[in-house]
A and B are shown apart, each in its own frame.
Chain A
Amino acid sequence: MPDQSRGNLNSEGQILAKDSPSPSNQKRKSLTSFILTFLASFVIWLILSGKFDLFHISLGIISCLIVAYTSADLLLPQQKLGHLIKVWLRFIRYLPWLLYQIFIANLHVMYLVLHPRMNQLIAPGIIRFKSKFSDEMSLFIFANSITLTPGTITVYVTVDGNYAVHAIDRKSGEPLPGEMEQRVANIMGE
């Protein structure tokens, strides 16, 4: 077991070699991502199992160790830990605004749907625009935020930031990319 874990750390270190050259730093980084993955999966285990006797907790610890060992580099891609925490905090601050937008847009779509002359009000069409994002995470957050807001659905995104959005009427489609893009950019610190 110790041999295997050291082997894992080394192969991790080779992947990380682009960012930081010193080997001890790499080991520490993959160890923290291992511990964080373990903690996250263990908290979810506790919530889902709801039993706090020795048998269930030890079962959870064993399976979370296995999961963290095999997939530690999936949950946390190679980034600086402090940066990651900042991104998460800013993401949590972004959520209330997103929920508020979803709520307003929901009411708008409800109004359209229940309106007797609906066919004159809606004007579906596809909007194309290019966003300034380059990394995949902000592209993903932005695309999912657009789809969650009613009246707009992301049809496709390309890696270099070309969006195609289907909008149900002009009022839903007009604000894009606009403020939402700015806020997502703030999350990622771009």
Chain B
Amino acid sequence: MDIVVTIILIGGLFFFAGGAIGIIRLPEFYCRLHAAGQLDTMGVLWTMAALALYVLDDFSLGAILTSLKIILIVFFLFITSPTATHAIVDAGVRAGLRPWRKRGAEE
């Protein structure tokens, strides 16, 4: 069980690391949001799944309640994360920041 949990945790950390690298490497504001908003959501999903499995290892009422709370965290994050990303993008558009485009790329 511990091995499975560790593997899933490492998978989540992989996505988190990808998100962080993406924020640094991508060229501009909108592209960076892709990495910031979404790879993080995936990382949270994996790490939370690992935590829920870890808690459920010794099976009891308290463990079930805790894992239900973890599922609630993931549920609310999946609603709020795209909304927040959208709000940031919208703020950028309203402030007049034009999306970067590669030279010679057609519309």
Residues of A at under 8 Å CB distance from B? 44, 47-48, 50, 102-103, 105-106, 109-110, 113-114, 118-119, 122-126, 143-144, 147-151, 153-156, 166, 168
A50-B65, A153-B33, A155-B93 provided; 19 other pairs, C-beta below 8 A?
A47-B72, A48-B69, A50-B62, A102-B38, A102-B41, A102-B42, A109-B34, A110-B39, A113-B22, A114-B18, A122-B26, A124-B101, A125-B105, A147-B38, A148-B41, A148-B78, A150-B34, A150-B42, A168-B31
Contact, CB under 8 Å: A147 / B82: yes
Given the known interface contacts A109-B22, A110-B15, the answer about A124 and B31 at a Cβ–Cβ threshold of 8 Å is: yes
> Cα distance A106–B41 when bound, in Å?
10
Residues of B at under 8 Å CB distance from A? 14-15, 18, 21-22, 25-28, 30-31, 33-35, 37-39, 41-42, 62, 65, 68-69, 72, 78-79, 81-83, 85-86, 89-90, 93, 99-102, 105, 107
Contact, CB under 8 Å: A156 / B38: no
